[in-house]
C-alpha cells in the first residue's frame, strides 16, 4: 500500500509518498510560492533531486505537478496514479468535531470548512484548499484527514478546561486543544519500543521543542495534559510566540501600545518569545552563539526557555504521579545540547541522572539515550516523524 501524505500551507504544499509495507519514503518534496511569482517544486525520488519551475497559480496546479514528479522518467517512483491508495492530509485543528483520523465525505468537508476554520485561521483553510485540489485531481482516491489535535483528545475535562464560565466552553468551544499531537504520539510510541516496554507501563513527558514548542504528559500511552492551549500561542515561550501570559497584561499592553485585539494577538505570535527577549533572533543557533559571545539577553532567552520547559516536566511528573522517561524531539530538542542540559539540570530529585557526554554526541538521526545507565528516569532524543504517523493513521483507516 502506498500513501501520499500532503501538508498544505497557504502558499506551499509539502508531500511524501510512503510505502506502508516497509514504511520507507519513496519520494518527497515541496511546492513553494503557490499563487506567487516564481513558484517551483523541489522533488526527490530514486535517490535524485529535480527542480520543476512552473507557474502554480493555485493548489490544483501544484498537486498536478506533484503527480507529474511522482511519474517522472528520472525521479518518478510510480507508473500510474492508481498506485496511490490514499492521501493523508495534515490538519492543524479539529476542535471537538473530530476526535481521530477521518475519511473525507461531503459532510466531513462541510464540517471542516464551516466549523474549524476559526480555530486555526492560518492553517485549516490552507489544508482544505489542498484537500479540494487533491479531490479534483484524484477523484477516485480516498482522502483522509489526520489532525494535530487528535492525540490530545484523551485529556480529561479537568486538564483541558479553562477557569471560565462552563457555558462559555459549551457555547463557544473555548478550551485547551493542544498541538503537535502526531509528533508527541510518534515519539512516545518510539520511546516505549526503545525501552522494550508496553506504552501502558510508562509515564513519559514528551518535549517537542522547535520553532513552536509543546510539552505533553503521556500516561500509559495516552495524553493526559499538554502545554499548548486553545491555540498554539500557549505554553512555553517560543521562537516568536510569547507562550503563557496573564490576560490582564495583554489588555494593558494593547492599551499602552495602541493596538487592536487582533494586532495584539499578532504581536504576541510574531514579535515575542525568545526573539523578543533576545532582540537578536528566533533561531536557537543564533541565541547560543550570541550567548557564547557574552550577549546577556541571548543567555536570558535560553535560560527562560529551559526554565519554563523544566517546570512543565515537573508539573507533568506530578500530574502523572511519577516519571519513567523524558523525550526530546524537533529542531531544538534534537539538535540543541545546551537546552537539553539546562532542562534536565536540577531534576535529580525525580530520579534523573543526566549523561553529559552522551548529550554532547553527534546527532546521527537515530534514537539516542542521554541518561546514565543507572538513571531511574530515561532521557531520550527521538527524531520526530509526523508524516509517518499521518500515513499510518490513513492506512489504518482504510
CB of 300 to ligand AMP, least distance (A): 16
Q: Does residue 34 touch ligand AMP according to CB under 6 A?
A: no
State in angstroms the smallest separation of the CB of 220 from ligand AMP: 27
- Contact window for ligand AMP (CB under 6 A) among 80-88, 255-263, 277-285, 315-323: 277-285
Picking from 383, 357, 358, the residue whose alpha carbon sits closest to that of residue 369 is 358
Over the range 251-290, which residues count as b (16 or more CB within 10 Å of their CB) and which as e? eeebeeeebeeeebeebbbeebbbbbbbebbbbbebbbeb
The strand pair at 203-209 and 13-19 is best described as unpaired
CB of 141 to ligand AMP, least distance (A): 29
Which residue of this chain has its Cβ atom nearest to ligand AMP in the complex?
331
Other CB atoms closer than 10 Å to residue 396's CB: what's the count? 11
Residue 235 vs 239, nearer CB to ligand AMP: 239
* Of 59 and 241, CB closest to ligand AMP: 241
In the range 296-335, which residues lie near ligand AMP by CB under 6 A? Answer: 330-332, 335
Q: How far apart (Å, rounded) are the C-alpha atoms in residues 79 and 106?
A: 30
What is the DSSP secondary structure assignment for residue 353, as one 8-state letter? Answer: -
- Residue choice 85, 283, 341, 369 for contact with ligand AMP (CB under 6 A): 283
Residue 178 contacts ligand AMP per CB under 6 A: no
Catalytic residue IDs:
148
Which parts of 334-353 interact with ligand AMP (CB under 6 A)?
Answer: 335-336
Contacts of 370 (CB under 8 A, 6+ apart): 340, 354, 355, 358, 359, 361, 379, 380, 381
CB of 381 to ligand AMP, least distance (A): 12
Which residue(s) pair with 377 in the sheet? 352
Query: Using CB under 6 A, which residues numbered 43 to 102 contact ligand AMP?
Result: none
| Closer of 127 and 330 to ligand AMP (Cβ) | 330
Q: Interface with ligand AMP by CB under 6 A: which range of 197-205, 282-290, 343-351, 367-375?
A: 282-290
We find the least distance from the C-beta atom of residue 45 to ligand AMP, in angstroms, to be 23
Q: Judged by CB, which is closer to ligand AMP: 95, or 239?
A: 239
Q: Which member of 29, 239, 243, 273 binds ligand AMP (CB under 6 A)?
A: 239
- Taking the least distance from each CB to ligand AMP, the nearer of 117 and 307 is 307
Residues in binding contact with ligand AMP, number by CB under 6 A:
11
Instruction: Print the binding letters for residues 196-235 with ligand AMP: x by CB under 6 A, - otherwise.
Output: --------------xx------------------------
Lookup: cell for 149? 489535535
- The region of 137-145, 216-224, 247-255, 280-288 touching ligand AMP under the rule CB under 6 A is 280-288
Residue 285 interacting with ligand AMP (CB under 6 A): yes
According to DSSP, the residues that pair with 295 across neighbouring strands are none
Using an 8 Å Cβ cutoff, are 100 and 150 in contact? yes
Run of H or E residues at 207: strand 203-209
Contact segment (CB under 6 A) with ligand AMP among 16-24, 30-38, 279-287, 293-301 equals 279-287
How far is residue 154's CA from residue 365's CA, in Å, rounded to a whole number? 30
Q: With respect to ligand AMP, which residue has the nearer C-beta, 128 or 302?
A: 302
Radius of gyration of the chain from its Cα atoms, rounded to whole angstroms: 21
Q: How far is the CB of 336 from ligand AMP (least distance, A)?
A: 4
- Burial profile 356-376: b = 16 or more Cβ within 10 angstroms, e = fewer: eeebeeeeeeeebbbbeeebe
Question: What one-character-per-residue DSSP string does 68-97 give?
Answer: HHHT-TTT---SSGGG--EEEEEES--TTT
Note whether 93 and 147 are within 8 A (CB). Answer: yes
Residue 332, all three cell numbers: 531544538
Given the rule CB under 6 A, which residues bind ligand AMP? Answer: 210-211, 239, 283-285, 330-332, 335-336
Amino acid at each position: 500500500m502506498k500513501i501520499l501524505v500532503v501538508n498544505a500551507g497557504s502558499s506551499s504544499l509539502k508531500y511524501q509518498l510512503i510505502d506502508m509495507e516497509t514504511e520507507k519514503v519513496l519520494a518527497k518534496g515541496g511546492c513553494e510560492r503557490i499563487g506567487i511569482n516564481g513558484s517551483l517544486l523541489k522533488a526527490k525520488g530514486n535517490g535524485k533531486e529535480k527542480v520543476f519551475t512552473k507557474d502554480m497559480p493555485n493548489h490544483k496546479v501544484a498537486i498536478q505537478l506533484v503527480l507529474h514528479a511522482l511519474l517522472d522518467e528520472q525521479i518518478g517512483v510510480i507508473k500510474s496514479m492508481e498506485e496511490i491508495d490514499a492521501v493523508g492530509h495534515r490538519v492543524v485543528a479539529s476542535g471537538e468535531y473530530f476526535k481521530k483520523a477521518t475519511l473525507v465525505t461531503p459532510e466531513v468537508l462541510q464540517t471542516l470548512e464551516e466549523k474549524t476554520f476559526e480555530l486555526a485561521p492560518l492553517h485549516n483553510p490552507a489544508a482544505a484548499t489542498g484537500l479540494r485540489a487533491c479531490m479534483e485531481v484524484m477523484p477516485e482516491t480516498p482522502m483522509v484527514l489526520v489532525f494535530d489535535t487528535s492525540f490530545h483528545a484523551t485529556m480529561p475535562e479537568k486538564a483541558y478546561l479553562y477557569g471560565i464560565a462552563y457555558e462559555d466552553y459549551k457555547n463557544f468551544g473555548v478550551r485547551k486543544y493542544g498541538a503537535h499531537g502526531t509528533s508527541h504520539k510518534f515519539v512516545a510510541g518510539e520511546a516505549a519500543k526503545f525501552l522494550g516496554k508496553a506504552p501502558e507501563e510508562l509515564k513519559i513527558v514528551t518535549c517537542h521543542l522547535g520553532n513552536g514548542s509543546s510539552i505533553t504528559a503521556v500516561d500509559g500511552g495516552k495524553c493526559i495534559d499538554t502545554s499548548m492551549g486553545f491555540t498554539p500561542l500557549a505554553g512555553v515561550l517560543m521562537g516568536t510566540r510569547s507562550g503563557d501570559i496573564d490576560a490582564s497584561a495583554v489588555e494593558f499592553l494593547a492599551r499602552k501600545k495602541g493596538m487592536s485585539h487582533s494586532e495584539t494577538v499578532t504581536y504576541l505570535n510574531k514579535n515575542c518569545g525568545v526573539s523578543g527577549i533576545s532582540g537578536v533572533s528566533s533561531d536557537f543557533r543564533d541565541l547560543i552563539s550570541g550567548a557564547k559571545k557574552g550577549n546577556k539577553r541571548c543567555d536570558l532567552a535560553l535560560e527562560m526557555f529551559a526554565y519554563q520547559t523544566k517546570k512543565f516536566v515537573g508539573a507533568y511528573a506530578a500530574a502523572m504521579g511519577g516519571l519513567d522517561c523524558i523525550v526530546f524531539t524537533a529542531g531544538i530538542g534534537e539538535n540543541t545540547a545546551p537546552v537539553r542540559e539546562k532542562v534536565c539540570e536540577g531534576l535529580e530529585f525525580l530520579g534523573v541522572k543526566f549523561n553529559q557526554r552522551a548529550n554532547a554526541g553527534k546527532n546521527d538521526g537515530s534514537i539516542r539515550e542521554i541518561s546514565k545507565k543507572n538513571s531511574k528516569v530515561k532521557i531520550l532524543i527521538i527524531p520526530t516523524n509526523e508524516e509517518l504517523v499521518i500515513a499510518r493513521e490513513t492506512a489504518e483507516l482504510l
